[in-house]
Structure 1
Amino acid sequence: MRKIYVIGIGAGDPDHLTVSAVKALQRVDVFFLLDKGGERAGPVDLRHEILRRHTGGHVHRLVEIPDPERDRSTDGAGYPGAVDAWRGRRAALIERAIAGELDGDGGPDGARTGAFLVWGDPSLYDSTLAVLEEVLARGRVRFEYEVIPGISSVSALAARHRVGLTRVGRPVQITTGRRLAEGWPDGVDDVVVMLDAQQAYLRHLDTDPVIHWGAYVGTEDEILVSGRLSEVAERIGELRAAARARKGWIMDTYLLRRE
Structure 2
Amino acid sequence: MPFLTIAFPVFNPIAISIGPFAIRWYALAYIAGIVLGWIYARALIKNDKLWGGPAPITLLQMDDFILWVTIGIILGGRTGYVLFYNLPFFIQNPAEIFELWKGGMSFHGGFLGCVAAVIWFARKNDVPILSLGDITTAVGPIGLFLGRIANFINSELWGRPADPSLPWAMVFPNGGPLPRHPSQLYEAGLEGIVLFTILAVMIRMGALKRPGLILGSFITFYALARITGEFFREPDPQLGFLWGGLTMGMLLSVPMVIAGAIIIVMAWRGKFPKHVPGSDQGRP
TM-score, normalised by the number of residues in structure 1: 0.26
Q: Which has a greater percent of strand?
A: 1
